[in-house]
Structure 1
Amino acid sequence: MDHKDLTIGIVFLLQSTVGIVGNFSILSCYLIHYCTEQTLKTTNLILTHMLTTNSLIILSKGLLYIMRAFGVEGFISDFGCEFLLYIERLGRNMSIGTTCFLSVFQAITITPVNSFWVCLKVKASKHISLFTSLCWIYYMSINMVFPLYKYTKRNSNNQTHKSGMKYCSTSGHDDISRSLYTAFFVLPEVLFSVIIVWSSTSMIIILYRHKQQVQHIRSTNVSSRTSPESKATHRIMALVFTFIGFYALSSILQGCIALIYNPGWWLMDITAIISLCFPTLGHFVVSYNSQYQCSAFQE
């Protein structure tokens, strides 16, 4: 094992450890609360799905890259490789989807009573479980397209193109696979990202207006400190920049890998590290994001 592989393996190991411990710690708290109270707030329900999807990404991608970086040869079969790639894609898709659900639900929750969206407050709470379940079913089904397509093409051509990713061998890219990937994955991710930015911007505007309305009834001592609205705004901006920044950069790098015939190890490793950043660090921002928004409306 050379120094490069050792360094990359340590980075992946640290990322995976921090991500798994963080996600499972918060997830266990929600599960314990549900077992004792037999109920779970809608926001916490969405966060439960998000933490689960982030854990799937870390477990699948982290395991694959850690074992390969530390020189464990032949530790996984072709079926195991396809299965881990399937879990990774499913986790990424659902992570983006649940983050979108969380952002939209929070925007609806803090909507003023005279807003057009106020009628959605009750409906959103009742139907969020249905939307999340449909999202799981959709992506579990859609992500089966690529393994089936690769298997069919491999049998028909009786050959497999090794893409140069020393981590897993994949079938060569063609116009059909690119079109399927764009239609079923790229476009929904772009749409979800736009919705996240829109809903987060709406929340920031609502919080700013609420701050202006209640500022005159707050005492001088309270107003001299950082207001709850400002804290909530900072949390929202942190979530948006963390999510959009890491996922946008990851998507760009993955697009480069798809277009390059034989991508280098540095591009593969950097892309993998960046793609694990939000699942690893996102729970620090997301888990406390909702409580600051709620506190902003308690005064």
Structure 2
Amino acid sequence: MPLHDHVLRITSFCQIAVGVLGNFLQLFFHNLIKSTSHKQRPIDTILAQLAMTNAIMLLSKGIPEAILYFRTAYFLGNYGCKFVFYIRRVSRGISMCTMCLLSAFQAVIISPNNSSLTTLKAKTPKHVRLMCVLCWILTLLMDIYVPMYITGPKNNRSYIRGVNLLYCYWENVFVETAILTTLRDISFVGCMSLASGYMVFLLCRHHQRTQKIHNRRLSPRTSPEIKATQTILLLVGTFVSTYCVSCGLLLYDVYSANSSMWVANVSTFITLCFPTISPFLLISQ
């Protein structure tokens, strides 16, 4: 194995280890707050689901690659590949759905009491758990096609529209399956963008209204709602940017005649940046 592959693999292992640790710390703090607080915030349920799905995504990527790296032999059969990549796709989809739910929930919560979202503002906290369950059901059903197209690795790129996944192979990835997945991803990313734009608008208007008050204070403090909104905006920005870059690299890998495993590994590394960074952003707040 070339030196740059070793460096990239070791960097990936460090990224996965740090990300798994961060997400488990986030779950630990969530359970700690839940056991010590008399009243649980609805947003905590969404954050706990995000941490759990991010940890699953990292583990489903890291464990097979770690075994392959140290054994240097093919260890997953067709059924193993189908199971691992189904879990990975489901966790990715639930993470995207949860981020969409998180941004929409926060946008509704910080909306003014006299806005058109007043009714949703009163009802949304009561249905957070139901919406989290719907995220799981929707993603499990939409990604049920994944095992049909995953097989063991191929020694050559005999399939025109297949993707070599290091220890497995995805056949005809952009023929029958891409449209539905792309529509889902675009819908979620679009919802995140709209909710984020609305939150930015509310923050700017809030800043303008309170600017005079802040100027009179010697040490102005930011409200918890504003801090939470700023953190969620940072999360959404990180998610959307890493998603767009990884999609661009994936398209290059599929359609380029000079594609290589290095491109696929870099794409995966960028995809896992969000589940690695997000718990530390949330813990810091």
Normalised by the shorter chain, which TM-score bucket? 0.7 to 0.9
Match of residue 193 from structure 1: 189
Task: Give the SS at the match of 1:116.
Answer: coil
State yes or no: 1:24 paired with 2:20.
no
Structure 2 unaligned segments of length 5 or more: list them. Answer: 152-157
Q: Distance in 1 between matches of 2:11 and 2:197?
A: 34
Matched letter for residue 41 of structure 1 = R
- State the shift of 1:108 in Å: 0.5
State yes or no: 1:130 paired with 2:130.
yes
Q: Distance in 2 between matches of 1:35 and 1:21?
A: 21
Matched letter for residue 197 of structure 2 = T
- Contact 1:111 1:117 (8 Å CA) reproduced: yes
In structure 2, relative to structure 1, the CA distance for the partners of 1:150 and 1:6 (3 Å cut) is closer
Counterparts of 1:134-213 in structure 2, within 5 Å, are: 134-148=134-148, 165=164, 167-173=166-172, 178-183=175-180, 185-213=181-209
In structure 2, relative to structure 1, the CA distance for the partners of 1:136 and 1:122 (3 Å cut) is same
Equivalent pairs counted in the alignment come to 277
Q: Distance in 2 between matches of 1:86 and 1:140?
A: 9
Matched letter for residue 169 of structure 1 = C
Q: Kindly provide the CA deviation profile for residues 245-274 of structure 1, in whole angstroms up to 9, marking residues without a partner as x.
A: 101111222233344588411111111111
In structure 2, relative to structure 1, the CA distance for the partners of 1:260 and 1:64 (3 Å cut) is farther
Matched letter for residue 21 of structure 2 = V
Matched letter for residue 211 of structure 1 = H
Q: Distance in 2 between matches of 1:92 and 1:77?
A: 22
Q: Distance in 2 between matches of 1:63 and 1:172?
A: 23
Q: Kindly provide the CA deviation profile for residues 10-48 of structure 1, in whole angstroms up to 9, marking residues without a partner as x.
A: 111110111011000011121233345586311110011
TM-score by length of 2: 0.85
Q: Distance in 2 between matches of 1:71 and 1:258?
A: 28
Match of residue 238 from structure 1: 234
Q: Kindly provide the CA deviation profile for residues 206-229 of structure 1, in whole angstroms up to 9, marking residues without a partner as x.
A: 122222223334462447x57558
Task: Tell me the percent identity.
Answer: 30
Match of residue 62 from structure 2: 62
- Contact 2:30 2:44 (8 Å CA) reproduced: yes
Q: Distance in 2 between matches of 1:231 and 1:171?
A: 42
Matched letter for residue 182 of structure 1 = I
- State the shift of 1:234 in Å: 4.9
Match of residue 46 from structure 1: 46
- Contact 2:163 2:254 (8 Å CA) reproduced: no
Structure 1 unaligned segments of length 5 or more: list them. Answer: 152-159, 290-299
Match of residue 101 from structure 2: 101
Q: Distance in 1 between matches of 2:253 and 2:38?
A: 46
In structure 2, relative to structure 1, the CA distance for the partners of 1:255 and 1:182 (3 Å cut) is farther
Q: Distance in 2 between matches of 1:31 and 1:144?
A: 31
Matched letter for residue 90 of structure 1 = V
Counterparts of 1:262-277 in structure 2, within 5 Å, are: 263-277=259-273
TM-score by length of 1: 0.81
Matched letter for residue 261 of structure 2 = W
- Identify the range of structure 1 (86-95 vs 246-255) with the bigger mean alpha-carbon deviation: 246-255
- Identify the range of structure 1 (79-88 vs 19-28) with the bigger mean alpha-carbon deviation: 79-88
- Identify the range of structure 1 (94-103 vs 128-137) with the bigger mean alpha-carbon deviation: 128-137
- Identify the range of structure 1 (101-110 vs 34-43) with the bigger mean alpha-carbon deviation: 34-43
Greater helix share, structure number: 1
Match of residue 293 from structure 1: none
Q: Distance in 2 between matches of 1:150 and 1:265?
A: 17
